Structure 1
Amino acid sequence: MSFKYCWTNKDELIHRATRQGRVFSLETYLNRYPPESIDQLYEYGRSRWTLLIAACFYKHENIVRMLLRRFKPDVNAVGDVKLDFVHEVMHGISALWVAVAVGQFDIVKLLLEEGNADVNHLSITRSSPLRAASYIGRLDIAHYLIEHNADMRLVRDGNYTNLMLSAYREHTHMLKYFLDELQCDPNEYDQDGRTPLHYAIDGGSLNSVRLLLERGAKNSSPSPVTPLIWAALEAREDLVDAFENYCASDIEWIEARELLGAAYANIESKNYNLTKAIENLGKAYRWRTEKSLLKVVPSFSSVSAYNHSHECQTSLEFNELLRKSNTELHIESLRIQERILGQKNKRYRHAIRFYGAILADTHQYDLSLQFWLYELDLRRQHQIHFDKWHLRDFIHVFSEMIINDNDHIPEHAILHILKALNNELSTGRNNDHNLLTLFYLITIISHVSENQKVAVSMRDVYRMLVILVRNCYTTIGNSQHWTLLHLSVMTGLPYVNDSHIIALCKYPCHKTVALLLHCGASVDAIDAERNTPLHLIAQRKDDIENVLFIINLLCDVGRAHSDCVNSQGQTPLESASSIHVRTHLQEKIGVNRLKCLCARLIRQRNIMFDNCQFSCSLVDFINKH
């Protein structure tokens, strides 16, 4: 009988037979079709692989053997594979890497002994087959790969070694092999200065930590945070205790216990436990007394968020603090972190911001802003860049304050954010996002300044705002080129869509428009369609009363030029979508000025004027029409 196969389905036939382990069907298909089917890439789900890689993934040893002996595929061809136990897709991996990763020792031997596979082939991220064995903890495979010249010195991006990976994965049998037989350095470190001890702590592995310490791992590293300090920050008391006989000094051990207590008092921690915090801080004070080791408290300036107080020096002072509220204990934990970790430490600064967020959630806004502004000052002082959402969080708190009838937003807080925004905008990083943050802040200020007393006290804010608005020549959106004034007259989408601001007000917002005009925003600026803000507001069909009010602001306060035409050749009057808006604009505009009629005639008749000796201002005036 003659078998006929549909040519268009031949790839699916071949690929399906490979996945299902049907070796005779696959051999029949491959004999019938051209040899390029052997090494071509097939797509399946998130994976993209050769037949050999697919056979290794599905653990079909018979398929692998048949392919190697009958069709001689490229054994080192690479693909992209989504493994069940790894979140991301692994890119540029070989069949040998996959066979190791799925724990198929017999297939690994086939690929090396019959296929002569490259035992040191590296993926896109420089992951070797030996690394895959380290990940799954297969000592037998790792030993076999080493016997076949696998290079233990090959590391993944960031100098992330196999020893570190095994420590993180709590494969103590692998650690013993690497340390005892292969003589790996227990104090090696990655590009961030983190050692295998750091990774063991990340993995929460007490056994790995103990084993590394027994094999000579030191509580030191190029990283500013030692392994012991890292264990304390993670509030892992069992891991901290493992270092008891491995500390270089008494002060090292005491400070770790202090930081452990501070970590337990950190309200953000999953191990938050005030009883444990008090217990560990009490131990540290007793040890300091026994060893006659007084605290050396740095002379940091007084911090308003910390009630201008300083860290407790004695157990007596600490016991007096405990009689007060839990807030004092939280602040004490922050002061301890500042002393031991330093002001630049990311974990310390994050703890400040998180505690400020907790205060904001309980409507303690003034105190919350003190914590956040202190963290902002630390960033400025140590020249640490902002995450793009960092300043936006202040806007959210400000808007919540107004919504909750708390209009007393401190002027110095707004000034801090304006200055920070000015610095960020000058760098050009996250430009759209930062301009939107400024836009939202202008809306906040416009709502706050309704109160005349507040408005008088915010003169410095207005001066800074004038500088920012006039310096913001860059527009928002790569294609639309909207200015801040354009955004203030729009419905909001696709850019103005922050839920906190939308809960405060709806756009178009006449308060925002008025403040932007007051600060010198260009009323006749055009977007990509040559629409001025007056064009956009005239095209609105809803909220007519608000629309008419904004038109009055643009025309009376901003002196908007009503004869500017957009890319469709329409003036704001001609583009108006409502009879009420059209009538109102007609009344505002009155009779067209002669120079405007002349300029428009030049544009309509396509009269060439580029070569005329006109001034730049006159050329610009004609182009508007």
Structure 2
Amino acid sequence: MHTCYDNFHAGMFFEYSREKQEELIHRATRQGHAFSLETYLNYYTAENINQQYVYGRSKWTLLIAACFYRHENIVRMLMHRFKPDVDAVGNIKLDFVHDIMYSVSPLWVAVAVGHFGIVKLLVEEGNANVNHLSITRSSPLRAASYIGRLDIARYLIMHGADMKLVRDGNYTNLMLSAYRGHAHIVEYFLDKLGCDPNEFDRDGRTALHYGMDGDSIEVVRLLLKYGTKNISHNTISPLMLAALEARENLVDAFENYRCSDMEWIEAREILGATYANIESKNYNIDKAIEHITIAYKWRMEKNLPKASPSILPIEAFNYPQECQTLEEFNHILSESNTRLHIESLLIQERLLGQKNKRYRHAVRFYGTVLADANQYHASLQFWLYELNIRREHNINFDKWHLRGFVHMFSKMIKNNIDIISEKAILEILKALNDELANGSSNDHNLFTLFYLITVISHVSEEQRLSTYTIDIYRKLVIFVRANYRTKENSQHWTLLHLSMMIGLQGINDNHIISLCKYPCHKTIGLLLQCGANVDTVDSKRNTPLHLIAQRKCDTDNVLFIIDMLCNNFGAHSDCVNDQGKTPLETASNIRVKEHLRKKIGVGQLKCLCARFIQQTKVVFQNHHFPLNLVNFIEKH
């Protein structure tokens, strides 16, 4: 009946290029035009039925595309008429999953989009592999667990799906369903399949931990009902996790479920400490007092006093000890809210431990609050305490961690704080030294060191730093000079080069630049005093004098720095860069040119000789000349 139409359609199809033919085939699949697709494929090479098509971030076969767009009629036609490989894999990007899913089968895709009809068609008529695993070891059953389709999960189990197939790290389907809050799937896995609720992943987390993360009271109650234990992971049990998140309903869900009296008491203490935490979105002084008071009353009722403090008094906290009784707790409440905040930190340190990320963040945040209130000295105590915890336990810094100290120092100088803690400066110098030696974010840390040098150059005018601190600083500058250069703009600058260029667009830190005008003669002078080489060269053989001569900023400041380099530290004004130009020849400002011309004068005889050797191309690089003489000639 459709012979003429088919012939016309086929004729038109063959007029197109192969690329256009493939586009028509793929579009017909996506749009669900079964008749057009069948017509195209009748005149298309049969072996190309499993061809991969790229669409957006996805790369798939026609069968996978049909599954993705939920076209059951297309899937049926393809399977019946063209026999595609029902397990041929592809890569797809689902709207509800952040990452691309690699090497997924058509069945996995049909499950992920929740189309039961296509799932049955692939399994029953196509004999699809129900246990096929993607690159990340995700099975079709796992996809059903993710979207919460109990009907599909049951069907897959009935047709041989293996519940024991799990993601890397033993991240089970039960854990996934618990995290997603699918209580009906969780109950099916526990009640009908007999899954172990206390199985843990590579990190020691159970389904109960994941249920807590998913914030589902129904899932948590189900897991507890089926015997899940309150197992700790990195000193954090699920009950403690609920308290840390101030999820009172989840804490209450544990009532009558295998928790010891001490677990209950400590959960209330953490819950109170969480409410007393200034950074918490759940900050509530009244609730903090309520839950910590309940904990003390339970301790008295159960005769479970706190153990003797194992932590030495902390200087940053002003040396208090954690309260031991309700009377002591009521007494500190009469002092101030500040004392309650410190108490909450002491509770967290005892129960979570110093290495706990939440505790460390709470300490640093409280220091930030103090800094915002211009209580800089107290703030530094908290930050340094957190810094020392990291160093003691070998916990990595992010690259902005140490920079934050330098920002605070600059604020203190701008706010006319008389004394900046020498201990703080010394600690940051040591930490920077460790980070540079370990190769951590070196370019960023070199800039941080440079900004700290600016701070020290300003501090040293106001207060006398000890010989020990200056010695540590000098050694660090020499260490950096010997081992590191920034790679900014591929110039491979030393700290001294950087001091000439800082403040240009793209090379600055607004917190520090507001402290002084760059280029900063104080910073440059301190660098040179501590061993920086005044004639060092970058990858283009520019000396610091070359770079400062090219600056178009405040001319008086530039001239002052040129005088300092030449008069105080003996910079060679006739060194040439890789283009054979001296600083005078690279300068564009007339005043700078005149100033440099006076510096050169008639020139020293040895410099003139060196320049003559270079210009006349006399061969001098051989073993008859000492290295220092060769280096001197090459500069000219």
Structure 2 distance, partners of 1:33, 1:496, is 59
Report which stretch shifted further, 588-597 or 352-361.
588-597
Pair 1:3 & 2:9 matched = no
- Please give the alpha-carbon distance, in whole angstroms, between the structure 1 residues aligned to 2:128 and 2:611: 76
- 2:5 matched residue in structure 1: none
Q: Find the residue that maps to 1:117 and give its secondary structure.
A: coil
Report the Cα distance in structure 2 between the residues aligned to 1:490 and 1:407, rounded to whole angstroms: 30
Amino acid at match of 2:513: I
**324-333 or 46-55, which moves further after superposition?**
46-55
Alpha-carbon distance between aligned partners in 1 of 2:255 and 2:335, rounded to the nearest angstrom: 32
Please identify, of 599-608 and 392-401, the stretch whose mean Cα deviation from structure 2 is larger: 599-608
Q: Name the counterpart of 1:403.
A: 414
Cα-to-partner distance string for 1:55-103 (whole Å, 9 max, x where unaligned): 1111111111222222333333333322121223223322222111110
Counterpart position of 1:18: 29
Q: Distance in 1 between matches of 2:272 and 2:619?
A: 79
Where 1:429 maps in the other structure, the secondary structure is coil
Structure 1 segments unaligned to the other structure (5+ residues): none
Give the match for residue 479 of structure 2. 471
Could you tell which deviates more after superposition, 458-467 or 190-199? 458-467
- Structure 2: which amino acid aligns with 1:534? L
> Is the aligned partner of 1:259 residue 2:270?
yes
**Cα distance per residue 1:532-588 (max 9 Å; x no partner):** 111111112232111111112222233222222211111111111111111111112
Structure 1 residues 251 and 540: CA distance shift in structure 2, 3 A: same
Q: State whether structure 2 residue 444 is matched by structure 1 residue 433.
A: yes
Preserved contact between residue 195 and residue 221 of structure 1 (Cα < 8 Å):
no
Cα distance, 1:295–1:581 mapped onto 2, change above 3 Å: same
Equivalence map 1:588-607=2 (5 Å): 588-607=599-618
2:456 to 433, 445, 457: 445
Structure 1 residues 462-495: Cα deviation after superposition (integer angstroms, max 9, x where no partner): 2211011000031111732111111111143576
User: Structure 2 residue aligned with 1:239, among 229, 240, 250?
Assistant: 250
**Residue 495 to residue 68, structure 1, CA distance change in 2 (3 Å):** same
Do the aligned residues in 2 keep the contact of 1:352 with 1:375 (CA within 8 Å)?
yes
How much does 1:50 deviate? 2.4
**Conserved? CA contact 1:517–1:557, under 8 Å:** no
Code of the residue aligned with 1:435 in structure 2: it is L
Q: Which residue of the other structure, out of 545, 559, 565, is the alignment partner of 1:548?
A: 559
Structure 1 residues 158 and 554: alpha-carbon distance in aligned structure 2, compared to 1, 3 A threshold: farther
Contact 2:457 2:523 in 1 (8 A): yes
Partner of residue 576, structure 1: 587
Aligned: 1:88 with 2:119:
no
Structure 1 Cα separation of the partners of residues 238 and 223 of structure 2: 11
Say whether the 8 Å CA contact 2:422–2:465 is kept in structure 1: yes
Equivalent residues, number: 622
Matched with 1:45 is 56
CA separation of 1:197 and 1:560: change in aligned 2, threshold 3 A: same
1:189 equivalent in structure 2:
200
Q: State how far apart, in whole Å, the 2-side matches of 1:407 and 1:58 are.
A: 69
> 1:249 — aligned with what?
260
The answer to whether the 8 Å contact 1:407/1:448 transfers is no
Taking structure 1 as reference, are residues 6 and 500 closer, same or farther at Cα in structure 2, changes over 3 Å only?
Answer: farther
The 3 A distance-change label for structure 1 pair 370 and 595 is same
Tell me how far 1:49 sits from its aligned partner: 2.5
Structure-2 separation of matches of 1:170 and 1:623: 72
* Aligned partner letter, 1:476: T
Residue by residue, what CA displacement relative to the aligned partner does 1:247-297 show, whole Å, maximum 9, x if unpaired?
Answer: 442112111111111011112222221111111000000011111111114
Paired with 1:30 and 1:402, the residues of 2 have a C-alpha distance of 76
For residues 64 and 604 of structure 1, the distance between their equivalents in structure 2, rounded to whole angstroms, comes to 79
Q: Secondary structure, in 3 states, of the residue corresponding to 2:104?
A: strand
How do 1:175-574 and structure 2 match up within 5 A? 175-406=186-417, 408-451=419-462, 454=463, 456-472=464-480, 473-477=483-487, 479-493=490-504, 496-574=507-585
CA distance 1:553–1:601, change in 2 (3 Å): same
Percent identity of paired positions between Structure 1 and Structure 2:
67
SS at match of 1:143: helix
Whether contact under 8 Å (1:80, 1:89) holds in the other structure is yes
User: d(CA) in 2 for partners of 1:407 and 1:570?
Assistant: 46
On the 8 A contact 1:52/1:73 being kept in 2, the answer is: yes
What is the CA-CA distance between 1:498 and the residue it aligns to? 2.1
TM-score (norm 1): 0.95
Matched residue SS, 1:541: coil
Alignment partners' CA distance in 1, 2:400 and 2:47: 51
Distance 1:510 1:35 in 2: 77
Q: Which residue of 2 aligns with 1:161?
A: 172
| TM-score when normalising by structure 2 | 0.94
Structure 2: which amino acid aligns with 1:468? L
Structure 1 contact 529–566 (Cα < 8 Å) conserved:
yes
> In structure 1, what is the equivalent of residue 75 of structure 2?
64
CA drift of 1:129 comes to 1.4
Counting only pairs closer than 5 Å after superposition, residues 142-161 of structure 1 correspond to structure 2 as 142-161=153-172
Query: Post-superposition, which runs of at least 4 consecutive aligned residues in structure 1 deviate over 6 A?
Result: none
Structure 1 counterpart SS, 2:563:
helix
Q: How big is the alpha-carbon RMSD for the aligned residues of Structure 1 and Structure 2?
A: 1.9
Contact 2:502–2:508 (CA<8 Å) still a contact in 1?
Answer: no
Contact persistence 1:130–1:145 (CA under 8 A)? yes
C-alpha displacement of 1:222: 4.9
d(CA) in 1 for partners of 2:233, 2:310: 26
Q: Report the residue type matching 1:434 in the other structure.
A: N
Secondary structure in structure 2 of the residue aligned to 1:48: strand
Q: Distance in 2 between matches of 1:624 and 1:113?
A: 81
> After alignment, is 463-472 or 438-447 more displaced?
438-447
Find the aligned partners of 2:67 and 2:193 in 1 and give their Cα distance.
28
Cα distance in 1 for partners of 2:46, 2:534 equals 69
Structure 2 counterpart SS, 1:289 = helix
Moved more, 150-159 or 516-525: 150-159
